[in-house]
Structures are given as structure tokens and as C-alpha cells.
Amino acid sequence: MAGFPVPALSLEAINLSKLYDRWTSFCASIIGSVAPRAAMQYVRSRKALATYSAATKSGPNQAWLPSNKSADEIIKTDHHLIRARSRALVRDSSHVSGALRKINNNVIYKGFSPQVKYRGRDGNLRVSVNRRAENVFKRWEKAVNFREKENLTLRHLWQDGEIFVHYFYDDDLLENGEIPLNIELLECDHLDTSRTGPNGNNVIKQGIEYNPKGESVAYWLFPEHPGDATWLSWSGSRRYPAEVMDHLFVRERASQNRGVPWLTALIMEMRDFSEYQQAERIAARLAAAFGIFVTTPDPEQYSGDFSPIGGDGAQQTAEGLPDYLEPGKIQPLPPGMDIKQASNERPGSTYEPFTKNVLRGASTGVGMSYEAYSNDYTDASYASARSASLEERRGYQVQQRLMIRLFHQKAWDHLWKMNRLARVEALPENMSVVWQTPGWPWVDPDKDSKAAERDIKNGLNSRHKVCMERGTDYEEVIEDLQQEEKDGFPINDKVEAENATANSE
């Protein structure tokens, strides 16, 4: 059909297609002599089968035969090695470790802050209750080092794919007047994957215990990290109920009950790239080791003494030539000898294009722009950088929502349940909360500010949401503006009114 590109087919593919059609026609003719309708159905089925080119087993695809095992079965076999390689990549690769730091800086930054929205029976917000609950949470998060655990949780999701959060009672916090709930992060290495089999009405699969409904009800974990424990301190795994233990991971298949490192798709590519860079460094060092060669057509004439150029009669040997030439020095050479400089062509002209191609693919795997991942802004225009920045922020926002759902909201619920038992603070147990996530500055402050102002006037947005998008607390902004007004600085419409009066006068 005119206007549509037709893919070029190899001679082997054409011959296979003709052979396939001939065999189909031959079989259809035999079937058609007895049952014509069945022959038509046979031809249709064969044509439909032929359309799945992804199932081709000939040529270079004959060795590509992946298995269709369940996600848990694949994880059971490969998770240990994938996890170790992912951690090694984070330690050794400057691009990957730098990317994780940038992701944490954008997703976590200063941390997530709760904005309580508790309403009384009359439906009105209880400002005093809300402020008090927020202050109690701020004191508690400092006591348990909650901000560090935020960063660690996100990092482990990237490099391990999963992490366990253990909530437990802490007397020390109670003595200090805080809600006695503490948090312990346990790496997935603590999971006793050898625990498999029935346990009463439940079943244990790779250290996770499920009830008859398929819900996880407990986890079998080692109290000590298996990588640190010795035969003197090692103890068997213990059962931790799901009420005090959260298993944080992202499910990508319905049959998946454990997490896979988010860096999995980058592991082999970045490993090969690191080896390629190392090979280029070694080759460049070897080439640089041979700086200058001294050649002669008659080497046998210089096995003994010779007179240097200039004829001053001083006797020298060929072995007396300097190993290093100082800048600006005139060095005489024996008659017939010549100097040739070794050419250093490593890395070659293909090094930079190949590096950019690899880093572009890796940046896609971590959801970052090439410029941000590689720190290379030489070829970036303003429009492309702005588009890439907006796309990155959408990915960061998805991770922020994920952190709220998996970590922050659960920690909030556990905190007030413990407060109800310990009766430390006279606050309601069920308080709705909105998590204030870190925002980003406007890409184009002047245009973005005017657009936000126009949306507020047209009723398409609110000041509260604009503050949340920028990562600022709306209540704090209002309080600051009120305080500034008390200090003699007019705000909002009063500024416009005063400016208009001054202009008219």
C-alpha cells in the first residue's frame, strides 16, 4: 500500500513463509476432500498462528526460550544473586550511586510532614487538636530517627526491592514522655527463605506465612543479620505476626509476593559499561607508556661508542640516551637515528557516542533524564530540559505516593494505636491526615506564577494546593502572612490597593 513502509525480509524468512503456505495448502486440500468446512477452519487457524512472529524459534531466536514460572519461583532462584549484584553496583558505579542520591534528594528531601484534618462532631476542624497531633508526631519522629528511616526505606526499595519494618514497644520512649513506639528496619536478608511447608491451617512459603485466604499473617525472620552472625551468636528464625511487621515491596505480577530490586534492568548493562570503561583506561595507560621511539636503519653500528652530532669528540653509547625529554631542551642524537612519537588513540572516536547511548538507556531505567543521570547538559536546550524535568517530577511524585501508602500512613496508624494503649496523649485515635511532600521550584518562575494566579482567580486551583505543589505548609504561610501584617507589612489585595492609591496621587 502506498505511503506505508514495507519491512525488508531476509531470504530465509521468505523461504520459510513459502514452505509454510505450501504445507498449509497441501493439508487443507486433503481435509477439504472430506470436510470442506473443517478445511477452511484449518487454514484460518494456520494463518492466525503464522502472525505471531514473536514466537519464532529459528535463526538468532532459537536459543531464546525463557520459562513461564511464577514470579515467586523465579525470585526464589535468582533473588539472592540479583540482590548482591544490585548492592555491588550501588557501591561501585558512580552513575548508579549518584542517581540514587538524586532520587532521594527529590523524593524525600526534608521529609514528609503530616497535616491533620480532624473534625469534631459539628463538622468543623479542630485546629488546636490538629496542631497538637502534628507537634506530637514531630517530637516522636525525632526520638526514633524517622527521617533517616525514610531515606533508608526508599534506598532499599531501589537496591533490594523490599524491606521489613518492625514496630515494637519501647520503655525508654515512655520514660521520656513520648509515645512508646519504635521502628526497626530489617533487610530482606533476615527472611528465613528455607521455611517452607504447612503450619496448622496456614502455609509457609519462603519464610512468609499465609492463611487459607492467601493473606500474609506472619514472617519468619532471623533476629541477627545472617551476614553478621557467627556460630556463637546465630539463632534460628522467629515468627513475627503481621500486626507488628510490615513487608514493603511493589508487586509487578499477580503471583509475586516478594520484591525485586528496582535496579534489576540496569545491572548487566551498567556492569558491562563499567568493564568497558576499565578496558579503555587500561588501553590508554598502555599506549601512554610508550611515548617516543628512537629508530635507526643500522642498529648494529651503535652497539658500541659513537660521536654525537656536533663532533666535539665526546664518546657516548646508545644506552646513554635520556628516558625523559625536558621541555625546550635540545638533545643531540647519534647519526642515522630518528625519533617517532607513539600515537595514542584510546579512547577512540566511538567512545563518546557509545557512552551516551548506554547512559541514555540507563537513565530510562531509573526514570531520569539523560542530562540529570549523566550530568551532561552540553546538548540540552531549554525546551527539552524543561520537558524532561516535568517528566522526572511525575516519576518522583509516584514514588512519594508509594512511600505514603507503604510507609508513612502505616507508621501514623501504628503510632496512634500505641497511644491508645499507653495513654500518653489525650488525642483521638482516628485522625485523617494529608501528607505534605517536598515540592520543587517553578521551572519558569514568572510564567508559572502568573499561571497559578490566573488559575486561582478562575477557580481552577486553590492557594492550598499551590502551596502543596511547591512543598510548603499552607497553614504556616497563612500564619507568616498574618504576622507580617501585624508587623506593618500589608499583604494580598491591600498591597494592590495601596499601590493604586499611590499611583493616583
Residues 28 and 149 in one domain: no
Whole-number pLDDT of residue 233? 53
Residue 403 is placed in which grid cell? 512511600
Q: Which candidate, 275, 296, 279, 295, places its Cα nearest to that of 287?
A: 279
Residues 160 and 194 in one domain: yes
54-58, 264-268, 408-412: range with lowest mean pLDDT: 54-58
Phi-psi category of residue 65: left, alpha or beta, with phi > 0 → left and psi -120 to 50 → alpha: beta
Specify if 332 maps to a domain: yes
Residues 177 and 296 in one domain: no
Specify if 183 maps to a domain: yes
Residues recorded for the chain: 505
- Whether pLDDT at 174 is above 80: yes
Whole-number pLDDT of residue 242? 95
Count of beta carbons in the 10 Å neighbourhood of residue 320: 11
Residues 259 and 110 in one domain: yes
Specify if 373 maps to a domain: no
Q: What is the distance between the alpha carbons of residues 284 and 244, in angstroms, rounded to a whole number? A: 56
More confident of the two residues 78 and 297: 78
315-329, 356-370, 471-485: range with lowest mean pLDDT: 315-329
What does pLDDT average to over the chain?
82
pTM: 0.75
Measured CA distances, 275 to 137, 271, 351 (Å): 48, 6, 13
Residues 93 and 156 in one domain: yes
Whole-number pLDDT of residue 189? 93
Q: Which of 231, 265, 299 is the last residue of a domain?
A: 265
Q: What is the distance between the alpha carbons of residues 358 and 276, in angstroms, rounded to a whole number? A: 11
Average pLDDT for residues 109-117, to the nearest whole number?
A: 90
Residues 117 and 213 in one domain: yes
Whole-number pLDDT of residue 250? 95
State percent of the chain over pLDDT 90.
Answer: 37
Residues 168 and 291 in one domain: no
Residues 287 and 144 in one domain: no
- Whether pLDDT at 201 is above 90: yes
Average pLDDT for residues 79-83, to the nearest whole number?
A: 92
Residues 248 and 291 in one domain: no
Whole-number pLDDT of residue 17? 62
Say which DSSP state 404 is in. I
Residues 152 and 23 in one domain: no
Specify if 85 maps to a domain: yes
Q: Which candidate, 206, 220, 140, 205, places its Cα nearest to that of 172?
A: 140
94-108, 281-295, 327-341, 428-442: range with lowest mean pLDDT: 327-341
Q: Which of 306, 335, 352 is the last residue of a domain?
A: 352
Q: What is the distance between the alpha carbons of residues 102 and 211, in angstroms, rounded to a whole number? A: 40
- Whether pLDDT at 92 is above 70: yes
Domains held by the chain: number? 3
Q: Which of 49-53, 301-305, 425-429 has the highest mean pLDDT?
A: 425-429
Q: What is the distance between the alpha carbons of residues 118 and 108, in angstroms, rounded to a whole number? A: 25
Whole-number pLDDT of residue 498? 57
Residue 51 is placed in which grid cell? 502472525
Q: Which of 79-93, 442-456, 475-489 has the highest mean pLDDT?
A: 79-93
- Whether pLDDT at 470 is above 60: yes
Whole-number pLDDT of residue 164? 97
Average pLDDT for residues 181-210, to the nearest whole number?
A: 94
78-82, 171-175, 224-228: range with lowest mean pLDDT: 224-228
Q: Which of 200, 232, 265 is the last residue of a domain?
A: 265
Specify if 467 maps to a domain: no
Match 504447612 to its residue by C-alpha cell: 198
More confident of the two residues 445 and 240: 240
- Whether pLDDT at 391 is above 90: no
Q: What angle do CA 40, 41, 44 make, to 5 degrees?
A: 90
Whole-number pLDDT of residue 496? 56
H-helix or E-strand spanning residue 315 = none
Residues 312 and 339 in one domain: yes
Q: Coil, helix or strand for 216?
A: strand
Are the beta carbons of 221 and 189 closer than 8 angstroms? Answer: no
- Whether pLDDT at 100 is above 60: yes
Specify if 272 maps to a domain: no
Average pLDDT for residues 455-460, to the nearest whole number?
A: 83
More confident of the two residues 370 and 14: 370
Residues 314 and 228 in one domain: no
Match 635520556 to its residue by C-alpha cell: 322
Specify if 294 maps to a domain: yes
Whole-number pLDDT of residue 42? 76
Count of beta carbons in the 10 Å neighbourhood of residue 53: 8
- Whether pLDDT at 241 is above 90: yes
Specify if 431 maps to a domain: no
Q: Residue 190 is part of which domain span?
A: 71-265
Match 477452511 to its residue by C-alpha cell: 40
Average pLDDT for residues 391-404, to the nearest whole number?
A: 93
- Whether pLDDT at 493 is above 60: no
